[in-house]
Amino acid sequence: MGANYANLFEVIAGDVGANDAETRIAELCSELESYLEPVQVEEIYKAYLVGAEAHDGQNRISGEPYISHPVAVARILAEMHMDSKSIIAAILHDVIEDTPTAKEQIAERFGAEVAELVDGVSKLTQIDFRSKAEAQAENFRKMMLAMVKDIRVIIIKLADRLHNMRTLDAMRPDKRRRIAHETMDIYAPIANRLGIFKMRHELLDLSIKAAYPMRYRALESACREVVGYRKEIFNTIEAAIKQRLKETNIEATVKYRQKNIHSIYRKMKEKKLSFKELTDVFGVRILTRSVDDCYRVLGVMHNLYKPLPGRFKDYLAIPKTNGYQSLHSSLFGPHGVAIEVQIRTEEMDHFAESGIAAHWIYKEGESGGSSAQGRALEWLKSLLEMQQKSGSSQEFLESVKVDLFPDEIYVFTPKGDIKKLPRGATVVDFAYAVHTDVGNTCVAARIDHHMSPLGSRLYNGQTIEIICSESSRPHPSWLDFVNTAKARTNIRHFLKSLQKTEAISLGRRLLQQSVSQIKGGDVNISKGKFKKVLDQYHMSDPEELLAEIGLGNRNSSLVAKAMYDVEDDTTVFDDSGKPLAIKGTEGMVVSFARCCRPVPGDAISGFVSSGKGIVIHQRGCPNITERSKEDRQLSVQWSDHVEGEFLAYMRVQVANQRGVLATLAATIANMSSNIENVNLTEKDGRISTIEFVVTVTDRIHLARIMKKLRSLPVVNRIWRR
């Protein structure tokens, strides 16, 4: 076959030996001619020839020649009026993954830009993964990073997924369900985030059809019935709207639309409604020439039919995160039929269909970009930040999933700037939305001028002022209530960095202690000694070795012996030498056992536990004898200047009287202590035992609290565990 696609049209026109693939590429080229230059269409046809040759002999599960799939994907992109390089990449998007064709060959033939697009869409097939979940997560990470460089990667991938969903019937039922759920979880939300609503709706409808076929058929049938008996009512409504708009001299186009199956299914499921209880299965869309006309039309509609209270949304003044703009209102129509009305400009409607692709940033000669592009690029930037701070590809995938389902609220900074957050967001989420440093140092907030804790949930219209302290830092408990991917990723990243810093510091102290025990006094460890063991352990950085020691992954005694050539590989605990001083602030690598909850002033023992650092017990703790053999005992003592608060456990036996718990709580609070946990057990009808976990600064502080409680008439007995 020649490289000139014009010859193909002659073959198709005459139906001279034309096969299905040739017919499809001819139709594609014909559509492309409506908006691309002939030389670009010629290049796309040449890409088809390369793809057809590479996929020669390969068939889809349906039995069709494989080349029919990439041509169909290219057709979807052509309907969106994508650029020529995107179309070429779509036609070649499977050649790296499924054929011997290399990325370099594509770059040589069609340019580096096309090669990067094709590579971005291709899966990682050369790497062996431990699980299917890991493979999916790593491929997703690769695709998203390619998308950050060039957003066309994800648009090609979405078109690829859409055609796969359209032809899913050839798959096994279990595979259909798996692909459908993956589409609902990842690809449809990405299409929504980029504002490509037409594609999103079709992806979700096809996903419901594949995952829940019987439910889909039932809803489809119910919608057809409603169309039948409500058709006359909707014709009346449409005619009334057109007449009223004509009377007010507003130029507008009126369409009536049916709600998508997936939207109906989701609403029925979330609100536990039957199909008959739904009021907005059908709606009206009105397209105007300007934003001013949109608000005029809204006034006309509210004058024509009464609006339903609380059902108006203005996405013109405050667009959605993905750039979507429209006025939404629900009205009481004739015969008690509820009407959902969407009012927007024609340009906004075009964007609602194609999203960021409607304002294509790669079109030659265009500069700048729409606000939609700005939002999309801002989101891509946040994805890159998330990826850099995620510990693994699976953690990154989960973070992005969280970010893809934003049921939004709008809150304000003290200066009046609007911040969009997902519903359920807290003060910490807002702080990180303002700036990472604000999130890392926040301690409290004023919500509408009232002091509020960091875990407070936010609601629409609130004004939030964050209170920061330079000495503050993120706490692991924040991960229990934060709602945004940005906050979660930054907190995890900070805690990992903090743990490493503390582990290096602790590792240095442990190694110095072990070296002092060997040499009989304080000795400075030379670089040569470090280099000797680094070569032995195949490490390049002393800090890496110190962090391993601090986290308990390497024994400091063995490292010290290797440094000074001590031929004794025993790991028996040696109680000689100066014990390690515990300051109480090494929170990430020094933890305090929950079984005995030691506080400063208690006699203590330490155990080096792999991956955790040092765990501190009271010296008489019964669990010490039950420690596993792999944990290693360490000589420790409290520092002269211990910092911070510690949790202490005490058990109080009281007379079973009304208000006794309140009396105890008030007494503890008056002694400058907080109650972290309380548990009440009733021994009999007259006596109760209350278990408290309270904050104290040291053993003396705890003794004062216990003495004060013991003086209360209701207290029979008090003791520590």
Rounded CA gap, 493 and 296, in Å? 50
Residues 573, 633 contacting (CB under 8 angstroms): yes
Identify any residues that bridge with 235 across adjacent strands, giving them in sequence order. none
Residues 87, 32 contacting (CB under 8 angstroms): yes
Could you give the C-alpha distances from 537 to 530, 544, 547, 670, in angstroms and in order?
11, 11, 13, 54
Residues 488, 482 contacting (CB under 8 angstroms): yes
Q: What's the longest Cα–Cα distance across the chain?
A: 106
Q: Would you state the structure tokens that stand for residue 13, as one six-digit string?
A: 């026109």
The strand ranges marked E within 585-635 are: 590-592, 604-609, 613-618, 632-634
Q: Would you state the structure tokens that stand for residue 303, as one six-digit string?
A: 């004058």
Alpha helices (H) in 539-632, listed in sequence order? 542-550, 556-563
Q: What order of strands is seen across the sheet that includes strand 646-655?
A: 675-682, 687-696, 646-655, 715-720
Residue 173: CA count within 13 A, CB half-sphere: 2
Phi then psi for 194, rounded to 5 degrees? -90, 0
Rounded CA gap, 210 and 170, in Å? 11
Catalytic annotation, residues = 97-98
Residues 13, 61 contacting (CB under 8 angstroms): no
Quote the Cα angle for 469-699-634, to 5°: 90
Q: Count of CB atoms within 10 A of residue 526's CB?
A: 10
Rounded CA gap, 609 and 628, in Å? 10
Q: Tell me, what amino acid is at 62? A: S
The strand ranges marked E within 469-598 are: 580-582, 590-592
Residues 198, 231 contacting (CB under 8 angstroms): no
The secondary structure element, H or E, covering residue 119 is helix 112-121
Shortest CA distance to 594 belongs to which of 647, 673, 668?
647
Q: Would you state the structure tokens that stand for residue 193, as one six-digit string?
A: 């985030």
CA torsion angle 386 389 392 398 (round to 10): -30
Rounded CA gap, 243 and 241, in Å? 5
Burial code of 315-344, b = ≥16 C-beta within 10 A, e = fewer? bbeebbbbbbbbbbbbbebeeebbbbbbbb
Shortest CA distance to 487 belongs to which of 543, 554, 424, 567?
424
Shortest CA distance to 304 belongs to which of 263, 341, 354, 356?
341
Residues 557, 509 contacting (CB under 8 angstroms): no
DSSP letter assigned to residue 187: I
DSSP letter assigned to residue 476: G
Rounded CA gap, 184 and 165, in Å? 11
Residues with Cβ within 8 Å of residue 370, at least 6 apart in sequence: 323, 359
Phi then psi for 582, rounded to 5 degrees? -105, 120
Residues with Cβ within 8 Å of residue 544, at least 6 apart in sequence: none
φ/ψ region of 83 (left if φ > 0, alpha if ψ in -120 to 50, else beta) reads beta
- Map 280-339 to HEC letters: CCEEEEEEECCHHHHHHHHHHHHHHCCECCCCCEECCCCCCCCCCCCEEEEEECHHHCEE
DSSP letter assigned to residue 186: I
